[in-house]
Structure 1
Amino acid sequence: MRIILNDQPRETVSTNLAMLLSELDLAHEPGVAAAVSGQVIPRSQWAETRLADGVQILVIRAAQGG
């Protein structure tokens, strides 16, 4: 399926948000937040959040520093 991840087109076989974040090696990282079609999805709902062709996903990772 083709998705838009952080404003970049990407092909994925993931069918839900948890699978996608695992594919990106981010599923178990602290400080990761994700939004699907402009809606922030709590980590507890990542596995339940289905992805569809063309969906827009924003993934951000908090960074410490100054």
Structure 2
Amino acid sequence: MQVQVNGEWRDFPDESTVAQLVEVAGIPERGVAVALNGEVVRRGEWTETVVAKGARIDILTAVQGG
């Protein structure tokens, strides 16, 4: 299925979860927030939140600075 990840269309297996998408995208889980179609998904729900075909995923990483 095709899913938009940070503005780029990518292919993932059907019935993929948020956790699987983050893993396949190669992004470390620490310091990361995920939004599914504009709604933040709590980390504790990543493994049970199934992503639908055509969904929009935004993966944001924390950045230190001043």
Q: TM-score w.r.t. structure 2 length?
A: 0.86
Q: Corresponding residue for 1:24?
A: 25
Cα distance in structure 2, aligned partners of 1:42 and 1:36: 10
Cα distance in structure 1, aligned partners of 2:44 and 2:55: 20
Runs of 4+ in 1 over 4 A off after TM superposition: none
Q: Is 1:52 the counterpart of 2:56 in the alignment?
A: no
Residues paired across the two proteins, number: 65
Cα distance in structure 2, aligned partners of 1:25 and 1:48: 19
Cα shift at 1:25: 2.4
Please give the root-mean-square deviation of Cα atoms over the aligned residues, in Å: 1.4
Q: Any gaps of 5 or more consecutive residues in structure 1?
A: none
